[in-house]
Amino acid sequence: MRPALQILSAAEAVARIPDGTTVACSGLVGAGHPEALTAALEERFKTDNSPNNLTLVYAAGQGDGAQRGLNHLAHPGLLKRVIGGHWNLAPRLGQLALAGDIEAYCFPQGIICQLFREIAAHRPGVFTKVGLNTFIDPAHGGGRLNKKTSEPLVERVKLDGEDWLRFRAFPIDVGLIRATRADRAGNLTMEREGLVGEVLPIAQAARNHGGLVIAQVESISDQPASPHAVRVPGMLIDALVVAAPGEHDQTFAEPFNASYVEAGRAVAPKPMPFSERKIIARRVLREIAPGSIVNLGIGMPEGVVPVAAEEGRLDKFTLTLESGPIGGMPAGGLSFGCSAHPEAIIDQPAQFDFYDGGGLDVAVLGAVTIDAEGSVNISALGDRFAGVGGFVNIAQNARKVIFCCPFRAGGLEIAIDNGQLQIQTEGRHCKFVKQIPQVAFHGPSARGRGQEVFYITERVVFRLGDHGLDLIETASGIDVENEICAQMEFRPNIAHPKPMPAECFRKD
């Protein structure tokens, strides 16, 4: 028998977390993140030097790039180990990892949220092909980020004569989750949350290992919750915390945006100013067939939304987010993970089940660096570590993958003269390099899977061929030898490239 449900302050609730335990935390960026709980945990550690030596597990990146989210927990001594999907929004955690102050692993977001379900069911882990031949594969580091990190948490196994990865299960001792409301029995509803995330499997995993489940809510209602609205049943909850004002904003950018939880027709975004980003987005849009199910990554791929709206094509395909929203218009920045007027919001593990099974027709993703065999780095950024988030699941399993980025980065300036692209100032940083520091997408494996892969920039389009990158299109006005080949660290395969479509370069 468990003790009766308690209604506590955030400080009282986190005071129940013992030293040395494994803590799982829900959320994506700021949506669904229990800010009151992580802030209180930080204050407790700063005051009492406790709890200490925690293992933190989270699927999606949670933070604002500065102070909030999982940045609260980035203190030497508070954490012993971190297992996370995306690190860029919690740079303090990344600094601890790069300095070797903590054991640090980066696993795909989809794997971690699915792993919570396996932990809850006391199964031996997640068996998947996601991550094979990337830095997550134990043959290439096993997702370990520094020398301090030694324990193998993923292994290669043979099943029916094929290579698979097994991500090992481990006990969850504490679950920190968030919902909108609780009734007096502790049943949780999420009607004002922009996503569902993985709150149920986290709660089940902690409950089934004799652990502690703390839920942050906006309010507690005397009225019993509608059974169909309950996302986490009260029998799993140990403590409820009603968040203080400012600690339960819908995202880290907006206190509340009703469009993220209501049906309707999304308002078209403002037209995108002309730039290399607009050229790229226009060319990408030509690869998205009507009726496609699509995922857009954060950053450069977000440009597809305003361009599709300008061209009246936004309702011709279905946009999805790894966090669970289906349909609608994905939000950007610190509201990423939500979608304006979605058709449905499902839980994150179920969304990744669909993605992993090949449900995506098109994935549009960014790239930091790309090598001659078509492999892509998106995680290693020199003085910081971004992590992979849902990238590995999505890139490895979509039928068509489009990587989009400027041909060179850092100060690139372009102009259009009579339909001709001119490079006025070349970018300082090479994107197409001999060797990438970390493989998050493996080109040769993609060829073996029969994926269709494109690399789209403002001046050239490559396609993954049998022998690496095939140059298939160039912008009018661009000199192939001087402005493409001389600006790369390897020579692509060049046969008879076509001109990039003229409409990509309209100055509007």
Supply the DSSP symbol for 5. Answer: P
- Specify the residue for token string 């372009």: 414
Q: Which amino acid is at 335?
A: S
Catalytic-residue membership of 322: yes
Q: Report how far residue 258's alpha carbon sits from residue 247's, in angstroms, rounded to the nearest whole number.
A: 18
Q: Report how far residue 5's alpha carbon sits from residue 130's, in angstroms, rounded to the nearest whole number.
A: 39
Locate 177 and state its tokens: 């989750």
Letter string b/e over residues 71-108, b meaning 16 or more CB atoms within 10 A of that residue's CB: bbbbbeebbbbbbbbbbbbbbbbbbbbbeebbbbbbbb
Catalytic residue among 198, 276, 322, 483: 322
Q: Report how far residue 188's alpha carbon sits from residue 220's, in angstroms, rounded to the nearest whole number.
A: 9
Q: Report how far residue 82's alpha carbon sits from residue 434's, in angstroms, rounded to the nearest whole number.
A: 31
Integer angstrom CA distances of residue 109 from 26, 62, 302, 325, 471? 12, 12, 20, 16, 32
Integer angstrom CA distances of residue 428 from 305, 425, 457, 488? 28, 9, 15, 12
Q: Which amino acid is at 273?
A: P
Q: Report how far residue 41's alpha carbon sits from residue 38's, in angstroms, rounded to the nearest whole number.
A: 5
The 3-state secondary structure of 411-445, one letter per residue: CCEEEEECCEEEEEECCCEECECCCCCCCCECHHH
β-bridge mates for residue 480, sequence order = none
Q: Report how far residue 418's alpha carbon sits from residue 189's, in angstroms, rounded to the nearest whole number.
A: 57
Name the nearest CA neighbour of 173 among 280, 21, 301. 21
All residues at 6 or more sequence positions from 337 whose CB lies less than 8 Å from its CB, including other chains: 28, 29, 31, 32, 60, 194, 195, 251, 321, 323, 325, 331
Tell me which residues are annotated as active site.
Answer: 322
